[in-house]
A and B are shown apart, each in its own frame.
Chain A
Amino acid sequence: MESHLDGVLGVKPLYRVIEAGQLADRIFQIWVEAPHVARHALAGQFLVIRIDEHGERIPLTVSAVSGDLVRIIFMAVGKTTHQLSALKAGDFIRDVAGPLGKPSEIGMRGTCVVVGGGAGIASCPIIARAARDAGNRVIGIIGARNAGYLILEDEMREACDDLLVATDDGSRGFHGFAADVLKEVIAGRKVDCVWIIGPAIMMKVTSEVTRPKGIRTFVSLNPIMVDGTGMCGSCRVQVGGETKFACVDGPEFDAHQVDFDLLMQRQRTYFDEEKVSLERYHEHACRCGEGGHHG
């Protein structure tokens, strides 16, 4: 059962990329073989990857599962995600650990709305599907800057009873933010529970929509992590005035209790270093003349 671990380097595991491709502007997906994660992952959980011996550990949501495969979706913003975007089918990822974090608190709630913004849409179908399987009526809202950044529309349409699309520039669906669409949805009907997943600023703004009505609202937080198992405390966030570790107490929290400004402040801790790392990567990728293979 653990034969997949006897990888090319003998005792050390390697995880094979089965499929890799681009979904939208700067947004990529990878299906990777990781049975120990795939077999046990539930909606809302994440995994940690390290691409190679020199790599950093980064958390990514488990976006979908199929047999022994897990899907990750990411936007190429820093060095690691750029490097990841250059991987092709047949390549290996050095380490995949998980599933980590608590699963979404699905339950039978009635009508649920799952809101995704940008690359955050990656986390939505698995939650929408789980919510519908639990007997909820599920409305999906996905939003992006423009049509070129929109991902998983078909998958969300299939996972939800209704799907609404918004783009900031109106190039597809409703012209405006996901928050505007959510406002209309909750004005028109009784909504029992909302998930909002996207960039921190989008989650902050969008969760204000449900606050006046006191609708149970979850957000999935994405602070900087190292181990992802509660060991380092790098991912600490303030929720309801208490310090929580996003990796083990979350990643989903009550949106109306989260200190988003602090989250955003802490996400910028390594802003300068991230720039250095990415520049160095691009220089190296240029010199090698191949789509960014490193090391």
Chain B
Amino acid sequence: MNTPVGAGKEVTMGERPARDRIRDFFEVDCGLSAEEAVAEAERCMQCKKPSCVRGCPVEIDIPAFIARIAERDFRGAARIIKEANLLPAVCGRVCPQEVQCEGACILGGKEMPVRIGELERFVADREREQGLVIPPVAEPTGKRVAVVGSGPAGLTAAAELARDGHMVTVFESLHEPGGVLMYGIPSFRLPKDVVQAEIDQLRGMGVKILTNHLAGASIPVAELHAYDAVFIGTGAGLPFFMNIPGEQLNGVYSANEFLTRVNLMHADRFPEYDTPVRHAGRVVVVGGGNVAMDAARVARRLGARVTLVYRRREEDLPARRAEVIRAREEGVEFELCANPVRIIGTHFVTGVECVRMEMCSLDDSGRPEPSPLKGSNFTIDADMVIQAIGQGPNPLLIRKIEGITYGRKGNIVVDEEGRSSLEKVFAAGDVATGAATVILAMGGAKKAARAIDRMLREDQRDR
């Protein structure tokens, strides 16, 4: 296997063997023991000018929390992390540390960088097991903030604003808060009780979360505008389809639908849970990102033979290296440099016709532009097809907000600090940037929350 340049993070030691883990949805990573964590913490050089912090979108004081671990002051470590990030158990698991903090670690040049992600997770898990400490909140300011969406961006903005003493109400259209953390990321990467515990912490800080509330419908836009500030973190929930023949056949799913059925609705436990998902023997997943890996690995756990079709080369796969490796270990087959042209079947899917792709000149992102090789068509048998080719912002709310500027791809246009074209309306996360990572959404939300807090305090002074 070719390891692409710049993909430093290999799978770490503490994980369950593939043959065990594909039988269930329990976590793949086992996490560090206290001894392992202390030993890992002692490797940290405690740099005076730590580059790891600059690599962290939410600016956790990484050397400080690692120093506490080395001193076995795990609660102290948790406190330091939570000053910057209230979702550490989530971030420790799903952040692409290899291109952020760990990618910037000075040890990375000579040996393995400090496993900062594992350490963050260790500290967060340990605190949760022993009882989460609700972070203190500032004196109430009397200002009301509406947060739309309870995914990574919404939760981060809500936490920061609650900490600043503002009254925060979060509107979530689904029946559970958490957004993509609940419906998108499978529990073997991110257990749902971990997400729920971190959300409960927010409730402890006084954040009110209204589920089943679709902003712009259950809460009209005019009512949102009545808040002192509005933060929009509605993510990128609109699935793209390839627009090829056969896409309407039964058994063709968007990754969003497939993952929602299993992760949020527990279709893997049908009929104990009422939501079904098609029982497939052979599954084709289209795409090469983290969502595609998640879908493929979920399908494996449902017992299917899984082929992942991606139009570029191995080294171009946008998914995290560790996820690709794990997908392979779990028996996901990769059909690279191939692209579906047609889905075959009558009523139900029976196969996918693909064409080989040739790598041509580099595109703007430095990746080769794939182009179909004439006459190279071949068919893969399949009774389920999952399209994981990306998603865009859901236009539902955005279109209802009069005067807000949005881009060609439907994303809300914001400045560096999340300000939209409308006064008092802010946005961050995928709805502003297009589909990206959990931590980038959190970083953006944190900046926006700071700007909102500043605005509300100036507002207060003016009175």
Residues of A within 8 A of B (CB): 2, 5, 11-13, 36-37, 40, 50, 54-57, 79-80, 94-100, 226-227, 229-234, 236, 238, 243, 248, 262, 265-266, 268-270, 273-274, 276-277, 280
Q: In the complex, which of the residues B238, B243, B261 has the most CB atoms of chain A within 10 Å of its own CB atom? A: B238
Instruction: Identify 22 residue pairs between A and B in the complex whose beta-carbon atoms are under 8 Å apart, listed by A's number.
Output: A13-B210, A36-B218, A36-B219, A57-B175, A96-B212, A226-B257, A226-B260, A226-B265, A227-B260, A229-B237, A231-B237, A231-B239, A231-B260, A233-B241, A236-B248, A262-B248, A265-B248, A265-B347, A269-B250, A269-B251, A273-B270, A274-B276
With A231-B260, A233-B257 known as contacts, the answer to whether A80 contacts B237 (CB < 8 A) is no
Interface of B, secondary structure class, is loop
| Shortest distance from the beta carbon of B197 to any chain A beta carbon, whole Å | 14
Contact B251 A97 (CB under 8 A): no
Query: How far is B275's CA from A95's CA once the two chains are assembled, in angstroms?
Result: 15
* Interfacial chain A residues near B213, Cβ < 8 Å: 36, 97
> Which residue of B is nearest A80, CB measured?
B274
Query: For the complex, what is the distance from the CA of A232 to the CA of B265, rounded to whole Å?
Result: 13
Contact of B254 with A by CB under 8 A? yes
Complex partner residue of B274 from A54, A95, A238, A262, CB under 8 angstroms: A54
The 8 closest A-B pairs by CB, nearest first: A273-B276, A232-B257, A56-B274, A97-B212, A36-B218, A231-B237, A95-B175, A56-B275
> For residue B276, which residues in chain A have a CB less than 8 angstroms away from its CB?
56, 270, 273-274, 277
Task: List, in ascending order, chain B residues with CB within 8 A of A99's CB.
Answer: 217-218
Contact with A along B347-358 (1 / 0, CB 8 A): 100000000000
A2 to B171, CA, bound (A): 12
- Across the interface, which residues of A come within 8 angstroms of B253, CB to CB? 233-234
Q: B257 contacts which chain A residues (CB < 8 A)?
A: 226, 232-234
A231-B238, A269-B251 given; A226·B270 CB < 8 A = no
Q: In the complex, what residues of A have CB within 8 A of residue B347's CB? A: 265, 268
Across the interface, do B274 and A100 meet the contact criterion of CB distance under 8 Å? Answer: no
On whether the beta carbons of B250 and A268 are closer than 8 Å, the reply is yes
- Tell me how far the C-beta of A263 lies from the nearest C-beta in chain B, rounded to whole angstroms: 10
| Residues of chain B at interface, number, CB under 8 A | 46
**Which residues in B have their C-beta under 8 angstroms from that of A5?**
210
Contact B394 A231 (CB under 8 A): yes
A227 touches B212 (CB 8 A): no
Asked whether, in the complex, the Cβ of B250 is within 8 Å of the Cβ of A266, the reply is: yes
B229 smallest CB distance to A (angstroms): 19
Residues of A within 8 A of B274 (CB): 54-56, 79-80, 277
Inter-chain contact B174/A227, CB cutoff 8 Å: yes
Shortest beta-carbon distance from A174 to chain B in Å: 35
Contact check, A265 vs B211: say whether CB atoms are below 8 A apart.
no
Cα(A269)–Cα(B175), bound, Å: 24
Interface contact A50-B217, CB-CB below 8 Å: no
Known A56-B265, A97-B218, A248-B396; contact A243-B241, beta-carbon cutoff 8 A: yes
Contact B265 A230 (CB under 8 A): no
B409 at the interface (CB under 8 A from A): no
Fill in one digit per residue for B288-318: 1 if any A CB lies within 8 Å of its CB, else 0: 0000000000000000000000000000000
Residues of B within 8 A of A2 (CB): 208, 210
| Contact between B203 and A11, CB atoms less than 8 A apart | yes
Which of B214, B241, B248, B275 is the one whose CB lies under 8 Å from A100? Answer: B214
Nearest CB in chain B: distance from A107 CB, A: 20
Distance in angstroms from B134 CB to nearest chain A CB is 14
Task: Give Cα distance in the complex from A100 to B394, angstroms.
Answer: 14
Bound together, the chains give a CA A277 to CA B269 distance in angstroms of: 12
> Which A residue sits closest to B203, measured CB to CB?
A11
Tell me the residues in window 212-237 of chain B with beta carbons closer than 8 Å to chain A beta carbons.
212-214, 217-220, 237
Interface residues of B in 300-347 (CB under 8 A from A): 347
Docked-complex contact A37 and B218, CB < 8 angstroms: yes
Q: Are A277 and B271 in contact (CB under 8 A)?
A: yes
The reply on B256 being an interface residue by CB < 8 A is yes
Instruction: From B183, B248, B278, name the one whose CB has the most chain A CB atoms within 10 angstroms.
Output: B248
Tell yes or no: B101 within 8 A of A by CB: no
Question: Which listed residue, A55, A57, A230, A273, touches B238 by the CB 8 Å rule?
Answer: A230
Q: Known contacts A96-B212, A243-B241: does B250 contact A229 (CB below 8 Å)?
A: no
Given contacts A13-B210, A36-B219, A80-B274, 6 further A-B contacts (CB under 8 A): A231-B394, A232-B254, A234-B257, A265-B250, A268-B347, A270-B278
Cα separation A95 to B176 with both chains bound (whole Å): 10
Contact A229–B396 (Cβ < 8 Å) = yes
Contacts of B220 in A (CB 8 A): 40
Contacts of B174 in A (CB 8 A): 97, 227, 229
Instruction: Judge whether A229 and B394 touch: CB under 8 Å.
Output: yes
Report which of A94, A96, A230, A277 forms a contact with B270, defined as CB distance below 8 A: A277
Docked-complex contact A13 and B211, CB < 8 angstroms: yes
- CB within 8 Å for A230 and B396 given contacts A95-B175, A265-B347, A280-B271: yes
Q: Which residue of A lies closest to B391 (CB)?
A: A231
Complex Cα distance, B243 from A65, in Å, reads: 39
CB distance from B37 to the nearest CB of A (A): 33
Interface centre among A97, A99, A236 (most CB of B within 10 A): A97
Q: Which residues of B contact A227 (CB under 8 A)?
A: 173-174, 183, 260
- Whether B388 is near chain A, meaning CB under 8 Å from some CB there, is no
Q: Give the residues in chain A near B266, CB-CB below 8 Å.
A: 54
Which residues of B in the span 237-289 have a Cβ within 8 Å of any Cβ on A? 237-239, 241, 243, 247-248, 250-251, 253-254, 256-257, 260-261, 265-266, 270-276, 278-279
For residue A236, which residue of chain B has the nearest CB? B248
Q: Does B209 contact A (CB under 8 A)?
A: yes
